[in-house]
Structure 1
Amino acid sequence: MVHERTRSVVQTRDFLRDLSRDSSLPETIRLQAKHLLRHYPEAADIWLAGKLEERRKEELSQLADNYGPLHPALSCWLVAEPLFCDESSKSSSP
């Protein structure tokens, strides 16, 4: 589900951060975690991406309602499952 995928991506950043700081791990593991974190999105970026996806879908729906059928390239966005959800959709379970 979208909220599970979103939560998983957000929690992966925390996991990588914890790995990078764990002095009981070999240095190669810590360095690899640091390198992966370098360009890994922050939680706020993930939640924002989800919010933007929801907004895009709402606005495309309004366009279709007001002006008729959309170009097929735009219509596919209406039926595609979003990659992420916004923060208001997040689940409190681990």
Structure 2
Amino acid sequence: MHTDITQKEMPTGSVNYPAGHTDTLIVPGIADPGNKAFVTLRAQFALRGHALYRTSTVDGAATYYAERWGQVRHLPTLDDAKRFLVQIGGAA
């Protein structure tokens, strides 16, 4: 038995979004210019085997935490996080 079924092909990177699609950001605050510095720093920490976390900025200034092997280090500012990155062998 032969069925003639054609697949619906869509080009990669197409702008044919599904119904209900909006251009809103999934992660709020991603367009924040200060967020780019954090994301870049977090990637540099990851290259050194550490994780960098940030608290919410909704209620004021964010604070940062570096973690590796279950050990956590509080870093009050982004500058402190940059200095700690240098201590662990990264380049800030």
TM-score computed with the length of structure 1 as normaliser: 0.26
Q: Which has the higher contact order (CA 8 A, sep 6+)?
A: 1
Structure with the largest fraction of strand: 2
